[in-house]
Every structure is written in structure tokens, then in C-alpha cells.
């Protein structure tokens, strides 16, 4: 299993992402966490495409909305990529998109067989754990774009045995309230790790480290 999970943007050490991927450097970028804010979605898509191309990636957007109810088609599409880069935004919208498209099932299988790298920042990182129960402090579960199911998906992707707290002690609008996430995990005796903006958790097989 290979993952690069950044607190914000590409992080301070995107060279670790490049090394993880190798191969043909074909990247799918997913921006569905911003489906409720079209202007921000366009801005971040352009920004991330530019930054990934500067790192040597061939980039193509993968809009999960096009695969709602069509998991087999998504599975076929993902086989064409070496890495998925998932943009931040609303974690609950992103999780819905992954559930409705079957991305959650497909990515787990591809990661287990080491066929792809899962990467991204903020919402992409925090949903990799087992639960989203602490995330309503920073993301609104009631924000529902057109075409999305109204039910909140509270379970995470279960890719990590601990939760990630991003924007920890950082100069970010959400940094002021992430302490409430920490309190939730400590109160419920749940394992967690914190990431400051600029830091990223890098996982390569059995090895994992936080780089900055």
C-alpha cells in the first residue's frame, strides 16, 4: 500500500510523492469535495493540475459524479492511472461521492494489490481513517450538492488504523477548531496523529513517516 497524505496542498516535500509513484506518472485528480462551490472547484482544479504537471505528472480530471451507480466503469477507468490526487474541501461530500461511485471499494482493492497510489490533502487525508465522527467540527454534513444522496456517510475508507488531524497548529482557517477533533479522539480513546500544514504522512508498504 502506498499513500501520500498531506495536510494542505502538495505539502513541503512532494518529491516523496514522485518517488512513491514512479512508473508512467499518470495522475487522476479528484475535486468532488468542492462540488458545492463551483468557483472554488474550478480554481483548485487548475491550481492542482499546474502543480502536478510541474512535478512531471500527466494529469486528467476524474469526476466521480460521472460514475455514480457505475462502479465497474470506475474500476476500469482507474486502471489507466498510477496515482489518484484528491483535493480538499468538504469531507462529507467527498465521502458521499466515493460511496455513490464505488470509489471506496475500488481504491481499497487497488491499494491492496499495490496497483495505484492514493494521495491528496485535507479532506482526502482525514477520510482515510475508520470514522468521520469528529469531522463535523470543520465540515458541514448538511451541504449536499445536486445528485448526491442526503444520508451522511459516517464511516471512513478504513485505510489507516488511526485518524489524521490536519491543519494542526497551522495558519489555516480551520486550525482554530481542530483542537475539538483532538478532544474527541482523546475522550473516546481513539488513536490519532496530527499534521501541520506543510507536513505529509507517507506510507510505503510497512513503512510510514511524517515528512516536512
pLDDT of the residue at 31: 98
pLDDT per position as a tens digit, 125-179: 999 999 999 999 889 999 999 999 999 999 999 999 999 999 999 988 888 888 8
The total number of residues shown for the chain amounts to 212
Contact of 95 with 127, CB cutoff 8 Å:
yes
CA dist., res. 52 & res. 33, Å (int): 18
pLDDT of the residue at 137: 85
Mean pLDDT along residues 47-67? 98
Residue of 202, 97, 205, 85 whose CA lies nearest to 157: 97
pLDDT of the residue at 82: 98
Amino acid at each position: 500500500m502506498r499513500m501520500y497524505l498531506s495536510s494542505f496542498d502538495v505539502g513541503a516535500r512532494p518529491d516523496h510523492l514522485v518517488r512513491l509513484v514512479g512508473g508512467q506518472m499518470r495522475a487522476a485528480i479528484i475535486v468532488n469535495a468542492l462540488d458545492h462551490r463551483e468557483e472554488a472547484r474550478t480554481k483548485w482544479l487548475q491550481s492542482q493540475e499546474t502543480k502536478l504537471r510541474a512535478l512531471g505528472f500527466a494529469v486528467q480530471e476524474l469526476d466521480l459524479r460521472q460514475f455514480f451507480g457505475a462502479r465497474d466503469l470506475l474500476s476500469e477507468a482507474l486502471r489507466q492511472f498510477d496515482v489518484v490526487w484528491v483535493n480538499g474541501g468538504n469531507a462529507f461530500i467527498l465521502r458521499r461521492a466515493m460511496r455513490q461511485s464505488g470509489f471506496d471499494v475500488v481504491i481499497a482493492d487497488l491499494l491492496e494489490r499495490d496497483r495505484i497510489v492514493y494521495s491528496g490533502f485535507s479532506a482526502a487525508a482525514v477520510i482515510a481513517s475508520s470514522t468521520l465522527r469528529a469531522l463535523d467540527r470543520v465540515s458541514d454534513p448538511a451541504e449536499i450538492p445536486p445528485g448526491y444522496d442526503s444520508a451522511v456517510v459516517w464511516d471512513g475508507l478504513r485505510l489507516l488504523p488511526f485518524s489524521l488531524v490536519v491543519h494542526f497548529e497551522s495558519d489555516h482557517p480551520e486550525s482554530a477548531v481542530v483542537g475539538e477533533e483532538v478532544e474527541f479522539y482523546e475522550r473516546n480513546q481513539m488513536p490519532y496523529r496530527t499534521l501541520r500544514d506543510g507536513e505529509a504522512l507517507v506510507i510505503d508498504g510497512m513503512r510510514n513517516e511524517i515528512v516536512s
